[in-house]
Amino acid sequence: MEQLVILYDNRAVEGFKADWGFSLLVELEEESILFDTGAKPEVLKHNMEAAGVDPAEIGRVFISHNHWDHTGGLPSIIEVNREFELYIPETDCYKIEEELPESVICVPVVAPTYITERALSTGVMPTGMEEPAEEQSLIVFSQMGAVLITGCSHPDIVDIAKKAVSLIGEELFLTVGGFHLYNFSDEEIKEVSEELKKFTRFIAPCHCTGERGIEIFKENWGDRFVEAMAGVEIPLTEE
């Protein structure tokens, strides 16, 4: 069965550790892609074990942006797996490459790029910060439709969703990840929540969306809201 497994989040279900950061495993029939790695190697390791995920079998790691709460868990992968491809915004590729074993291939991303036949990077977008200056998001083509996965959404979640839709030419099935709304007012969050309805059928906000933000989305989206926290599995295959 194809699914998303949330491995690292500010919130967690029983048996999993909660900590500020984000990581999600995209499990496809042909391979698994790890999206971000959370903040602490020991937390990622614990949650991978709890989810029954073997880090030795991960062939590709996708890093949305070079923030500690998205790259910090990398050592727990490298510990048991020294042969994977790491996709990261070009501006940070050379920096991170120095910390990686030579057998890990660091692939710099600039423009929208297919990293596998069914996984497309949106290409980098400016974060508006000095460091990291760029962030990428991932689109996965599932049996249910296209899924957009975001790390922190520093470039603005609405702009990212808009770009994703213009790249694939169809509505998204699901948008999941950190939307970076934790310091927004209720009014601002409601506006973003409404705006996103133009682009995606289902929504699963977590990480830096903030607890209040998640609550507002839940109220606003009703049965189109999907709960996301460490330990949650989101099926992408029809039953």
Of residues 192 and 208, the one with the C-beta less far from Fe ion: 208
Kindly state the smallest distance separating residue 213's Cβ from Fe ion, in Å: 13
Residue in the structure block whose two tokens are 């977008």: 125
Of residues 19 and 69, the one with the C-beta less far from Fe ion: 69
Name the one range near Fe ion by CB under 5 A: 64-72, 140-148, 161-169, 196-204.
64-72
Kindly state the smallest distance separating residue 179's Cβ from Fe ion, in Å: 10
Exactly one of 152, 226, 229, 230 binds Fe ion (CB under 5 A); that residue is: 152
DSSP state string for the chain: --EEEEEE-SSB-TTS---SS-EEEEE-SS-EEEE---S-HHHHHHHHHHHT--GGG--EEE-S---HHHHTTHHHHHTT----EEEEEHHHHHHHHTTS-TTSEEEEE-S-EEEETTEEE---EE-SSSSS-EE--EEEEETTEEEEEESS-TT-HHHHHHHHHHHHTS-EEEEEEE---TTS-HHHHHHHHHHHTTTEEEEEEEGGG-HHHHHHHHHHHGGGB----BT-EEE-S--
Window 203-232: residues binding Fe ion (CB under 5 A): 208
Name the one range near Fe ion by CB under 5 A: 24-32, 68-76, 190-198, 213-221.
68-76
Of residues 60 and 65, the one with the C-beta less far from Fe ion: 65
Name the one range near Fe ion by CB under 5 A: 51-59, 116-124, 149-157, 212-220.
149-157
Name the one range near Fe ion by CB under 5 A: 94-102, 157-165, 200-208, 219-227.
200-208
Kindly state the smallest distance separating residue 237's Cβ from Fe ion, in Å: 29
Number of residues that bind Fe ion (CB under 5 A): 4
CA proximity to 161, closest of 118, 105, 131, 202 = 202
Residue nearest to Fe ion (CB): 152
CA proximity to 172, closest of 136, 204, 138, 145 = 145
Name the one range near Fe ion by CB under 5 A: 33-41, 61-69, 84-92, 190-198.
61-69
Q: Is 67 in the site for Fe ion (CB under 5 A)?
A: yes
- Please, are residues 46 and 231 in contact by the beta-carbon 8 Å criterion? no
Kindly state the smallest distance separating residue 63's Cβ from Fe ion, in Å: 11
Kindly state the smallest distance separating residue 152's Cβ from Fe ion, in Å: 3
Of residues 17 and 118, the one with the C-beta less far from Fe ion: 17
Which residues of this protein are in contact with Fe ion, per CB under 5 A? 67, 69, 152, 208
